[in-house]
Structure 1
Amino acid sequence: MSNVKILVVDDEPDILKLLEMTLNKMGLTVYTAPTLGAAKSVLEKNTFHFCLTDMKLPDGNGIELVEHVHKNFPKTPIAVITAYGTIHHAVEALKKGAFDFISKPISLQVLRNLVANGIKEFESPTNENSIPKGKTKLAGSSEYIQSINKSIAKLAKSQSTVYIEGPNCTSKKFIAQCIHNLSRRNDKEFISFDCIEDQNDSPEMSEYERLIAVLTEANGSTLFMENIGFLKISTQTSLAKILHDKSFTDEDNEKVNLDVRFIVTCNHNIDEAEKIDKFNSELMERMTVIKLFTRPLADHKDDIPGLSKAILTEYAEKWQQLPCKIDSQALHTLCSYNFPGNILELKSILERAANVCENDIIRETDLGFDDNQQPKLLSQRHNKNLEEYINEIEIQEITNALKLTNNNKTAAAKVLGISFRALRYRIKKLGL
């Protein structure tokens, strides 16, 4: 690896020497600079696989260097060194484009892992002609969808934690999966952890034990944490410490270096929860580095044709058949409906229609709408809150899948695109 070049920027000679010696032992060629100006000069003369800078420099700060590298040398990952207790500086650097950060006092093992990951990112094909695995973008052509897809592509190149906020059933998990599929971590399995479901599914384990188990499983990959607000404050505090230390103790009492890309959602307003001491403030800072906002389907109805085509194609692939087409009147009816259950409701209606239509063409009558263009098989929302209404949609979706698979829960879970464990939990939760 002697041809791999690393730039380290720090104005303290002792720290600079320690970092240089540590990285030299990894077989790396290390360049050093004591100031922001010197770093910029060195960057102009060499191509670096990775850059590491202290936050505080005599003639500027690390964030200025992050911005400079991000703008002029976008392929080179850069990480910052922060003083203990200054997480807000790290968060700011990540928002400006930093690859990651490391806190003082510096753990040499954490440093080695950080640099190794940075080099992988530099050498990753994602920086050039990536070979993505699985779905990598949302279907649709609206300005909103284009914006989300641009964010997915950009965030796939980062290590920053992403917080996805928006109404239920607006493709938050799918967005997280797309980010993973485009990232250098896509050779590992995408791990999903619902803080509500897993709480009920493994009653024999404590919440902290479940957290450690999922961190162990997700190490080296992407972890999508749904409903993180349901974690107890004590568990949130433990997770914040794990993120700070970049390590945890596993079930065998062995220390494990943390290498997880987090993408999270919360079941309620995370900012309000933090204000009333329902959410750990340090964890909130670490988990909301980058925010991505999703919108209800009613706000981007222009995407319904594209989404419908994608849903029917996916459904056909599962059952190894030709995808159904939608006639113009049926499509007009779909585009006129507001979908309070968002994409989950659209998916439910289309999959049901695909099962009853003739000659693989979905007509208006196949949608199951009444004369007022409302789904017949769903009770009307009236005064129900959104959660109750979505529960009804879930009940119908699960019931349809079970009927379609002759009550085979494993097959039904595949139809629904969820794990068997998640289906079992939902069946119990919804009283089916």
Structure 2
Amino acid sequence: MTAPPIAFINARLVDPATGYDGPGALLVENGRIAAVSHEVGFNDLSPEIRVVDCNAAMLCPGLIDLRVKTGEPGNEPRETLKSAARAAAAGGVTSIVVQPDTEPAVDDPSVVDFILRRARDIELVHVYPAGAATKGLGGKAMAEIGLMHDAGCVYVTDADQPIIDSKVFRRVLSYASALGVLVAHRPADPWLSAGAAATEGELAGRMGLPSVPVAAETIMLERDIALAELTGARLLVDQISAAQPLEALARGKARGVKLLATASINHLSFNEIDIGDYRTFCKLTPPLRSEDDRLALIEAVASGLVDIIVSAHTPAPPEDKRLPYDEATPGAVGLQTLLPALLTLYHEDRAPLVTLIRAVTLAPAEAIGLPAGRLAPGAPADLVLCDIDAPQLIDAAELISKSKNSAFDGRRLQGKVLMTLVDGRIVYEA
């Protein structure tokens, strides 16, 4: 059923495709953007069109989150596709890419098809599966990349598991390159990283936590860049997190290697001191880095060196978090807090608003070949209306996700989602 037309007037339009950030109005019809004006309204609107006065709230493309974990299939008590989709809609996220580390792993076209069918039945936000790069995420034998791509997976990755065998990873990159498939990989030397719960340094030593040096990320990234250059593949660096590997990324891009890089909103918002008194909600992978690393990461986003920002949504139930710090499961939920946390960087004058919005809309859309991420006639009406100045105190217990492990629990943020549209349908309204 076609959603009724809506006219948004008196909005602050933020369009990353044109760089426009200013007053305007937008008309939605038949699931698409029908018209965009840089005036505050439209003349002679039909009476059957619903008119929404935005009162200068920001209207921008819906967010596209390239890294979301759920528990479905196999671990539904942690998170279902439906609960993740509801949380996404409440956070202004209109498209999510779910990771393949489920039970069974998404290493077969039938599992890709299952996820796509479940998403269609839910009818909330767009859900796209990422396929496994190797069978069972084992890092040994290449998965059915071509068949999964044909079935609808948008990129391949082994999620948190680095592919250690360089010959296997070269084979994955070569095959994916021939098919035009994007490959995402987490750079982490497995031997240096084994058992680590924090970043190596004075704080980890004082707290008695097993730690990993930043060099573990740099070493693996240098290898990955060399193999991407050798094969001509498109490589998505999954959650770069520190200043040292940023230097390797910059050198690789300067040589013309086909590189994209993501950073998680957690690593842009927190540093290693936020672990506090062994706060397991802030135990992440990669672990939180120094404040200098955090600031370097923000600068890399502002300059465009880091292309995409992700929530790194990783639900974990209380029994997995209420453990000694080094035994607790890493990860935090982030779908509902991605946008307000991102807006903090704007309020602190760390980066222009249109740059930040681009990193969660147009840049991820272009990375996986979606037509979304822009405010233009004919584009999908995937939109978010947000009061960017509205304060909110994050209470993890009130989040929609089935798991409540939010690193932002108790933190004050600015930015409240007022309405989310997917294909012109209102899927969330405050």
Q: TM-score, normalised by structure 1?
A: 0.26
Higher helix share: 1
